[in-house]
Structure 1
Amino acid sequence: MQPLSWWVQCLVLRTLPGSLLRRADHQRSDNAYGEEEAAPLRPDRNSPLPMCDSFKPCRKGAFILVTSLTLAVLSVLAMHLFLSIWLSSNHKEENWQRMFVDYIDNNSISNHLQQLTKEPHVAGTTENFKTAEYVESTFRDYGLDAHHKDFDVLLTYPLHRSLVLTQPGHETIELFLNERAVPGDPYSNNSKVMPPFHGYAPSGNASAEVVYANYGRQEDFEKLSQLGATVEGAIVIARYGMIYRGDIVENAARAGAVAVVIYSDPFDYGNNGTQGYYPDSQWLPPSGAQRGSVYRGIGDPLTPGWASESEAERLSVDDPNTMLPRIPSLPISAEDALPILRSLSGPVAPLEWQGTLELSDYKLGRGPGRLNFSYVANQTVRPIRNVFATILGSEEPDRFVLLGNHRDAWAFGAVDPNSGTAALLELARGFGKLLEQGWRPHRTIVLCSWDAEEFGLVGSTEWVEQNSDILNANAVVYMNVDCAVAGPGLNAGASPQLDDLLIETTKQVTDPDDFGQSLYDSWMVSSNKPTPSIGRLGGGDSDFASFLQHAGVPSMDIYFGADYPVYHSIYDNYNWMVKFGDPLFRRHVAITTVWGLLALRLADDAILPMKYENYANELHTYTLSIISRLKEADAPESISCTPLLSALKDLGASISKISQELKAVNQEGMGVHSGPDLGPFYRQRGLNDRLLRAERAFLDSEGIPGYSWYKHLVYGPVSNNNYGSLSFPAIWDSIYEATGSSNDASNSTKWAAVQHQIFRSARAITRASLVLRGKLT
């Protein structure tokens, strides 16, 4: 094989102008050999290239010319090679993203959803294990490495339910306590559906007069006391909405109630009855009832803080550390609530307590209506199954980008959760297609299908508790999609350092309800603010809770539509989805696309796309809210937020420093490394570690007072609403306790507790500041 210079010389001679060749030939006549002018060059008929050997290298002018041209061509080739490598390294991620978007298919998602929702599949049942097998086999069909992990956890199911209404001068009414089949909906006729019940509600019998408690919030029970309605020894009826059902039951127990029934009022779930009901409209039929857990903890109640393996230590069901409810409860329909509320006399409920049942007025009671309440639960330890698919990272296999959705449902669960499961499987299909084309993520991607979320985020929590040390060291982010599609409009919650990434990603995706604009554009319109509305993840209403609030992993939760009326009823099925939720499955495509693009950025970007400036701004806003509340409450002058303000100043300096470092790294182009010099790679990795681990610094080993499992001092649930979220929950809970105290000595102690919580939160901010700075003090 000829050397490269020979081929280049031949190429040059083939293309040189004739005048240059003649000039070179004339120069040859003056050479030392004194030879005559050579014959013009011509190709050899038996050679594909000119007969370059006839051009003798000793003729200096031509040699110099050819050498110069050779070097020029080599320079061009080298530049071309460099540009090719540079363009490839800088645009291959963008190409993979475009390919991924093209792969997502609405028919594929629809087919998955139909398969997943054929049967009701409550956690711990045979039908739910079939959905686990379906997910795992589908992962494998798409070319992904799949496995499952089982845990043995406490679950509960109904054995007996009875509510009988009695009132003087009226016939006894035994309430129906079931949902009725509706015409044109075969799902509502399914005999395998479990009747409405509350997960973890204890068995119990009670016979008592009834009190109406609005939404069952703490302030509602305080209002009842002010209005002279006695709850002690009564059965409470409350309506769903505003707060977590488990907190309704706990608030009633604290007020002295002996049992609770909770119903879905048409005001909240029927659009005041003005548009009809499912299947003619999207609204919950009068017989619809909302199932759900009333457990106020997270994870298996019998193994708080450790994984529920088959041979694990377990608490007794009666142990107060389980946080299981103390009094029995049942969900009922508006149809069953109506005669109960009709049976009440006493003061008329406040105007804001009035619903839209066919009553002249909602009254508080107590009585004369009386309920005979009977419930028997089957409490049993059963296996559950989490399913995973892993795509191993090519350069940082020990860094994990986790995407999750739960699979179990109270009935069919077309919206909650299997719209998200169908999206997860479509993600797997899209990633599988990319793998076929040669893509490998820089960091490892893990797809997670959780079990028993409905009972209390059980599957994800047990797994996080078992893997907390590895997650602490290696988890980059957790991105959750639960009810992927319940209707129009994007909703999102995120750790603040992920805000900009979420915004950038939505600009790449078309609005599924208006192809003329991006998803970001429609999100901006619905937010009606200068920037999109991004919520924070302090509540405990989905599987992100254990990742963020217990393990300190930056997290995100995205979905289309907010509250939807058939939530946790038998009418949340495939038929409702194709009629009202997403008839063409375009919203499913959009949420899957956003989810996947986020994953590709977090798995493949050389520098993690996390910006802590947003976090600092949020923390400053939270601190100002606390200062304002302290002034409102006329707090003692000794109570000061100076520690928080000082810590925030240091945090700002650390963020400025790491931002400068990141800018320098991006300018140096450290995203590509080759050869033995891995220094740039490890500097880059060190910066990324600081970005992903700063969130962990907000954890405190003692956790939130009274709820020590929740370790995050910035984001966590408040004490009287597990769905609610306040920043610095420990501070807000302590302020609530202090402002509710009337005894001077007790009040002084409680205000001191407020200051202690301010100091704790300030120390957490300082820890995050030090992590971002990356140097020892």
Structure 2
Amino acid sequence: MVARVLQGVGVGALMVAALSLLLALNLNLGSFTPSPASAEISCSSSRRSPLTTVEEDALGRVKPSGDDYFGTAGEELINEMKADNMEKNLRYLTSQGHMAGTKQDLEQAEYLKKLWLEQGLDQVFLQPYTVQLSHPDLSKPNKDPLDGVDYDDSIPPAFLAFSPAGTIVTNELVYVNYGLYEDFEAVEAAGIKVKGRLVIAKFGQGFRGDKVQNAERFNASGIIIYTDPSDYHPDLEQGGAAYPNSFWLPESGIQRGSIVWHDGDPTTPLYPALVTTPPAAVTPPFNTATLPPSSNTETTPSSTVATPPATVATPLATVATPPATVATPPATVTPPSTTDGMYRVPDEQTDTPRIPAHTLSYNDARKLLVNIGGEEVPPAWRGGLNITYRMGPQLVRPGWTVKLEVHNIKHLVPTYNVIGVIHGSEEPDRYVIYGNHRDSWTFGSCDPSSATAVQMEMVRAYGQLLRNGWRPRRSMVFGSWGAGEYGFFGPWEWVEEYLKVFEMRAVAHLNVDLAIIGTYNMLISATPLLHKIIKEATKRTPAPDPSLGYTTLWEHWSQRLRAASPDLLDYNLASLSEHSPFYQHIGVPTSYMVWEINFEEYNWSDYPLYHTTYEDFDAILPMDPDDETVMLRKMVADLKAEYGDTLQEKGISLAHLDTVVNRFDEVAKTFITHVNNLTDVPLLLARQLNDQLLLLEKCYTNEAGSYLRPHVKNLMFGTSNFNQYEGWLAPGVRDALWEATHCQESCDHHWQVVQHQLSLLQYVINSAVLTMKDIRYI
């Protein structure tokens, strides 16, 4: 699998670099000296604005056509970036595990800081935050062995982060398919009560934390989640090869991951987990067994599952296998006391799971599933094991029991963002942010190290441009986030700390989490203001494989099958990666991109080895408000299609929403016409027009936050309340509609909430209307 990633890791890297460049470009490239590779570019082109071709009117004034988005800086950047360097970066990053809160993670943070300074960035610093993390109890570890590979003490035993402590011994086990809300409803409809019972669900089709939350919603006592071969090794029963001979998951592979559904440090909601006295750069590891008692530390068990029968000598399943050597404890300073100045919400008040949860391989899950009795599951619920899948709840053998025993440790530890900055020459207070989380549950060859390898090469290439005399118009910020896997802790705390700065000054946020799963085609989600510029970047980027008949990345992306995302671009940002705080909390235009496999050839929910050990207009921003109108009309159309009849029955009209969207359409067209007719743009006017564009999507945020989720401030772009991997337009309205349509009695209040949320949605769209109006005629 690593070889496949190494082979393809450069694919699309130039696209990300091009996109970041277009957002940060400078007018003054005359002083830039191209390398010999780009020396054939004409002198006239090297002196003109990188965002325009030259067209003069009758008065000799330059009118941009928008055809040339690169100039010599773009050509130089493309020539400078090397796939071989990305491969070297990836080999370094995957040389050991680097889970957040460990000494290996800190070592990589220090390495990046030193490297980026050497490569010429203007400013590089470590930004620490003291956050609550969850780790396995190393005195009671599990082992997820790799066949033929020695145990690596930088890899944690298999666990689900933030699963609380608990032991469940029961003779009842309920199969709930993928653990989706509708799956639990189907189980209840079949006459099987979940309340008080242990359930087992498959990974896939949604975020693992939502499965746990659904189990809580239906009052289950605990949940086991396993990787069924139907998603992770579909040709298992036909003798198909697994890793390392293919990318399919071996029978012993266990997925790790966080199960929190409220992103950011759970002990400091809506404010940053600041470190007033930063810890030393490198600190010795502490041993959890000797950690002094602290009100900030909760000792709980590490995740294990064993199922000995009550009276039978042969166990039903045994997962806990102590490794030959004890894994290296998380390397941190002693958890800080309240002298760090930040109030910590008591653990019982945090928005974290309340029932024990554990992860299993399909080899171990088989031993449980074959002993579940009851009716057979529906055909669509069957998995890929050669067994009869049954609903439960009773086990088939009298006297046999399942024992779920969870052992985790919660503690406050520092996590580190590495922040690198290139200062802009003319607008240093406007920031284009490119982010990628650095930590991984294991080696992280795909997630996130494929993207970190790309980020490292981008920084090196930009450093070379700086040495050649180039400088962007706007500042560029590179963020290597800490504790991303736990719930995007690094970027959330950073956004919360710099909230007022980025509310006004952030131009865009470009996020790449795992750059490459396959090399078939790209999947890109973005808020509308970035749609135009993304298309332009792909048109300027060479095709990854010219032998396929494509010249540019645009041709590859737009003409090749996109089974994963039929739309060229969508708005489905959701909460699947580190971009969530930027668009959900402060409304910054945001993009997420990944290279995928051919989904018509392979049918999977996650890539199989996921989280296992096996893994200008002169100076005017090229953003198009018309793309915003397309999104607004889609949002209204979707609401009408799904809820129109129901709303009409309740006397609630969407006509007012239509009206305000029409107003936006009018002012957007007026703005675009105004910009296109300009022949001379003074710097002050350029700043005004750019600010109108920058503030546009930030208008969608509201201080009160989305209904049911006050930490999500964006009322336009959000996340499904039942699957954090799925994006929702108008999340507050949709939350309110779901509650109202599922209400059984005394529902008037719920429909009043729907009306309130519609009013708030109209309000934020109207704010966007006012922002796009000519300032002289508001």
TM range (shorter): 0.7 to 0.9
**Residues 520-531 of structure 1: pairs in structure 2 closer than 5 A:** 520-524=554-558, 525-527=560-562
TM-score by length of 2: 0.79
The AA in structure 1 aligned to 2:697 is E
Instruction: Give the 3 Å change call, closer, same or farther, for CA 537–551 of structure 1 in structure 2.
Output: farther
Query: The residue matched to 1:511 in structure 2 has which SS?
Result: coil
Verify: 1:239 aligned to 2:268, yes or no: no
Pairwise CA distance, 1:469:
0.2
Q: Secondary structure at the match of 1:271?
A: coil
Of 397, 411, 419, which aligns to 2:442? Answer: 411
8 Å Cα contact 2:376/2:388 also seen in 1: no
Residue 619 in structure 1 maps to residue 632 in structure 2: yes
Q: 2:115 aligns with which of 118, 138, 153?
A: 138
**Stretch moving more, 545-554 or 656-665:** 656-665
Q: CA 1:281/1:649 → structure 2, altered by over 3 Å: closer, same or farther?
A: same
Distance change (3 Å), C-alpha of 1:531 and 1:206: closer
1:741 pairs with 2:736:
no
Unaligned runs of 5+ in 1: 1-79, 163-175, 573-600, 671-679
Rounded Cα–Cα distance in structure 1 between residues aligned with 2:247 and 2:91:
19
- Asked whether the 8 Å contact 1:118–1:412 carries over to 2, the reply is yes
Match of residue 313 from structure 1? 342
- C-alpha contact 1:161 1:374 (8 A) present in aligned 2: no
Structure richer in helix, relative to its length:
1
Give the drift of 1:637.
4.5
Q: Which moved more, 1:532-541 or 1:476-485?
A: 532-541
Query: Aligned with 1:526: secondary structure?
Result: coil
For 1:372 and 1:414, the matched residues in 2 are separated by 34
Residue 358 of structure 1 pairs with residue 386 of structure 2: yes
- The one-letter code sitting in structure 2 at the alignment partner of 1:416 is D
> What's the CA shift for 1:461?
0.4
Question: Which residue of 1 is the match for residue 363 of structure 2?
Answer: 335
Q: 1:605 offset after TM fit, Å?
A: 5.8
Contact 1:703–1:712 at 8 Å: present in 2 too?
Answer: yes
Q: Which residue of 1 aligns with 2:33?
A: none
Aligned to 2:283: none
2:457 partner amino acid: E
Aligned match of 2:157: 195
Distance in 1 of aligned mates of 2:566 and 2:357: 42
Q: Structure 2 vs 1, CA of residues 86 and 410 (structure 1 numbering), >3 Å: closer, same or farther?
A: closer
Change (3 A) 1:221 1:97: same
What are the equivalent positions in structure 2 for 1:322-721 lying under 5 Å apart? 322-368=350-396, 370-488=401-519, 489-515=521-547, 516-517=549-550, 518-524=552-558, 525-527=560-562, 532-561=567-596, 563-572=606-615, 606-633=619-646, 635-665=648-678, 667-668=679-680, 670=681, 680-721=682-723
Task: Return the match for 1:111 from 69, 88, 103.
Answer: 88
Return closer, same or farther for 1:243/1:317 CA change in 2, 3 Å cut-off: farther
* Number of aligned residues: 638
Contact 2:207/2:723, CA 8 A, preserved across alignment: yes
Give the secondary structure class of the aligned counterpart of 1:482: coil
Amino acid corresponding to residue 540 of structure 2 in structure 1: Q
One-letter code of the match for 1:545? S
State the match for 1:152 in structure 2: 130
Assess if the C-alpha contact under 8 Å between 2:209 and 2:258 holds in 1.
yes
Q: Which residue of 2 aligns with 1:128?
A: 105
Secondary structure in 1 matching 2:407: strand
Return the offset for 1:702: 1.1
* Counterpart position of 1:262: 225
8 Å Cα contact 1:538/1:727 also seen in 2? no
Q: Structure 1 residues 451, 87: closer, same or farther in 2, change over 3 A?
A: closer
**Aligned-pair CA distance for 1:111:** 0.5
State whether residues 344 and 367 of structure 1, in contact with CA within 8 Å, keep that contact through their aligned partners in structure 2: yes
Go from structure 1 to structure 2 and tell me whether the alpha carbon gap of 1:530 and 1:521 turns closer, same or farther (over 3 Å shift).
Answer: farther
Query: For residue 334 of structure 1, what is the amino acid of its counterpart?
Result: Y
Match of 1:70? none
Q: Which residue in the other structure is 1:723 paired with?
A: 725
Q: Give the aligned residue type for 1:656.
A: K
Deviation of residue 85 (structure 1)?
5.4
- Equivalent residue for 2:752? 752
Shifted more, 307-316 versus 362-371: the winner is 362-371
| Counterpart residue identity of residue 260, structure 1 | I
* 1:723 Cα deviation after fit: 1.6
- One-letter amino acid matched to 1:155: L
User: Which position in structure 2 is the counterpart of 1:765?
Assistant: 765
Provide Cα deviations, 1:210-268, integer angstroms capped at 9, x if missing partner.
11000111111100011011211111100011111111111111211111110011001
Report if the CA contact (8 A) 1:210-1:236 is conserved.
Answer: yes
CA distance in 1, matches of 2:488, 2:669: 37
Q: Displacement, 1:749? A: 2.2
Name the aligned partner's letter for residue 544 of structure 2: P
C-alpha separation between the residues in 2 aligned to 1:684 and 1:224? 59
Deviation of 1:764 after TM superposition, in Å, equals: 0.9
Checking the alignment, whether the CA contact within 8 Å between 2:272 and 2:494 is kept in structure 1 is yes
Aligned residues of 1:341 and 1:363 also touching (Cα < 8 A) = no
The alpha carbon displacement at 1:532 in A equals 5.0
1:721-765 superposed Cα distances (whole Å, 9 cap, x missing partner): 22221111111121111111222xx22222222222111111111
Q: Distance in 1 between matches of 2:624 and 2:50?
A: 26
Q: Which amino acid is the alignment partner of residue 644 of structure 1? A: L
- For residues 49-198 of structure 1, the aligned pairs below 5 Å read 86=48, 90=52, 93-144=70-121, 145-159=123-137, 178-183=143-148, 186=149, 189-198=151-160
Check 1:227–1:161 CA distance in 2 against 1; reply closer, same or farther (3 A cut).
farther
Q: Is the 8 A contact 1:180 1:287 kept in 2?
A: yes
Q: Give 1:86 shift.
A: 4.9
Q: 2:269 is matched with which residue?
A: 304
Alignment of 1:8-87 (within 5 A): 86=48
Percentage of matched positions with identical amino acids = 31
Query: The residue matched to 1:510 in structure 2 has which SS?
Result: coil
Residue type at the aligned position of 1:720: F
What displacement does 1:535 show? 2.7
Q: Counterpart of 2:322?
A: none
Q: Within 1, Cα distance between the matches of 2:119 and 2:107?
A: 18
Shift of 1:510: 2.5
Give the residue type in structure 2 aligned to 1:149.
Q
Structure of greater relative contact order (alpha carbons < 8 Å, 6+ residues apart) = 2
**Cα 1:530–1:117, aligned 2, differ >3 Å: closer, same or farther?**
closer
Alpha-carbon separation, structure 1, partners of 2:721 and 2:371: 33
* Map of 1:38 onto structure 2: none
Aligned to 2:120, the other structure's residue is in SS state: coil
Q: Which amino acid aligns with 1:351?
A: P
**RMSD between aligned residues:** 2.3
Quote the offset at 1:691 in angstroms: 0.2
| Structure 2 runs not aligned, ≥5 long | 1-41, 54-67, 276-339, 598-605
Counterpart AA for 1:439: W
- Could you tell me how far apart the structure 2 residues matched to 1:528 and 1:283 are? 20
> How far off is 1:522 after superposition?
2.2
Q: TM-score, normalised by structure 1?
A: 0.79
